[in-house]
Amino acid sequence: RETRLLALEQRYCSHGDTVHYSEPKIFDRCQGSYMYDAEDVPYLDLQMWYSAVNFGYGNQRLNKALTRQLDRLPQVASQYLHAEKIELAATIAQHAEKTWGAGGRVHFNVGGSQAVEDALKLVRNARRGKGTMFAFEGGYHGRTLGASAITSSYRYRRRYGHFDRALFVPFPYHFRGPKGMDKEEYGLHCVKQFERLFESEYNGVWDPKAGEAECAAFFVEPIQGTGGYVIPPHNFFIELKKVLDRHGILLVVDEIQMGVYRTGKLWSIEHFGVTPDVLVFGKAITNGLNPLSGIWARDALINPEVFPPGSTHSTFASNPLGTAVALETLRMVEEEQDFGAAVMAKGAYFLEGLQYLQRSHKVVGDVDGLGLALRMEICEEDGHTPNKALVDRMVDIALAADLELDGRRHGLVLDIGGYYKNVVTLAPSLLITKSEIDQAIRLLDLLLTRVTR
């Protein structure tokens, strides 16, 4: 059966998606932290569908919310109302009121990229059609035309002609930053470099409105996702926001990958002491069941006077299945005693394991983490030169389930990120157990030994 399916795939499926392995794999079922193939070999999943399945595969509470809605009201045309859409918008907006004291509204869409498009429309509208944005080198915001235009990697855009509408600014990637500068200092340095853009354009003549003439907004991921789970210094966004405020530039925070408790908070920007003007979410808000995405924006940008009926629309936006699961996801976390603290504790424990791997294997150049967003950067034996070939081999061996632990065959689901595609980006289930983390570290240890011996 598998041979037949793979032959059909070779002939009939587009190969346009990004893949990071050499041999394809067909999965058969999933449960908890594991994917299983047709022979029932377990693959401990350390990426959870690019951080879309934060609450584990087969989460009974969320699956039930989906089937309940499926039986009662699975379809409503998007111009009509249903309770789940309203309750979800209110929950997200009230969280913003509580956290930042900021009033705002929510607009839904289906996938992450589409929500980024809505954010682009919103800030262009607010800045009278200004279509240029700032974004970070190494940033990723999706693959629709507008979202790829603000995604830094040229290879995502080069086939489709020029529609570049972004200026890319360095992100404080400390491990690859200048030698001898500490992390906080490097953050400040990057902010200063950014502000120099405004000074030089006006020949040193200070014009507080200069930025407004140039760009409408700065699109940021608080922690870079596809860019390699790079965590900026603590003070970075506070300093950056001061510059944005001086120049009238809006801050759009993309929480599609790092949101929904991946870092122990509902939104990862909550670690960094600034209030966004627009926030974009998707992926894990429905635990990867029935896609739903959206934007939250401050009232000034999204109130019906500036964003009136007909401003944007998608048939499946605010669909009842997605909104019902998303609402249940947020309620489930709310009912837990300090869910965020538990994520932080598991993250710290996982990071200790990664630090052990770094001590035991010269090729592990850097490890870091915030909550359960963790990184392991694979290098040459000098511990610094990026080694993509090695990480590719790790992914292939892991996906071939060519690892043996306690007398049983095991696989791992790993993903790769980073400028040089040499970073193992780790986003395990937030419900992962301590013994599963131990297993992850043992399997990664075996894998590193295999590729370096």
- Interacting residues toward ligand PMP by CB under 6 A: 50, 111-113, 116, 140-142, 221, 225-226, 254, 256-257, 282
Residue among 215, 272, 273, 219 at smallest CA distance from 248: 215
Q: How many CB atoms lie within 10 A of CB 13?
A: 10
Distance CA 452, CA 446 (A): 10
CB of 415 to ligand PMP, least distance (A): 10
* Cβ nearer to ligand PMP, comparing 36 with 316: 316
* Cβ nearer to ligand PMP, comparing 260 with 379: 260
Residue 281 tokens read as 């979410």
CB of 260 to ligand PMP, least distance (A): 12
* Cβ nearer to ligand PMP, comparing 142 with 146: 142
Residue 148 tokens read as 């790829």
Rounded to 5°, the CA angle 187-278-84 comes to 135
* Cβ nearer to ligand PMP, comparing 284 with 354: 284
* Cβ nearer to ligand PMP, comparing 140 with 237: 140
CB of 280 to ligand PMP, least distance (A): 7
CB of 200 to ligand PMP, least distance (A): 30
CA quadruple 399, 403, 409, 410: dihedral sign: negative
Query: Which residues are CB-contacts of 373 (< 8 A; sequence separation ≥ 6)?
Result: 51, 223, 229, 231, 258, 262, 263, 268, 347, 426, 427
Cβ atoms of residues 360 and 326 within 8 Å: no
Residue among 324, 360, 343 at smallest CA distance from 70: 324
Residue 136 main-chain phi, psi, to 5 deg: -95, 145
* Cβ nearer to ligand PMP, comparing 393 with 421: 421
* Cβ nearer to ligand PMP, comparing 42 with 142: 142
CB of 142 to ligand PMP, least distance (A): 3
CB of 225 to ligand PMP, least distance (A): 4
Cβ atoms of residues 54 and 429 within 8 Å: yes
Cβ atoms of residues 275 and 382 within 8 Å: no
* Cβ nearer to ligand PMP, comparing 118 with 377: 118
Residue among 52, 25, 53 at smallest CA distance from 41: 25
CB of 258 to ligand PMP, least distance (A): 7
CB of 269 to ligand PMP, least distance (A): 12
CB of 232 to ligand PMP, least distance (A): 14
Rounded to 5°, the CA angle 319-276-348 comes to 90
Q: How many CB atoms lie within 10 A of CB 286?
A: 28
* Cβ nearer to ligand PMP, comparing 33 with 47: 47
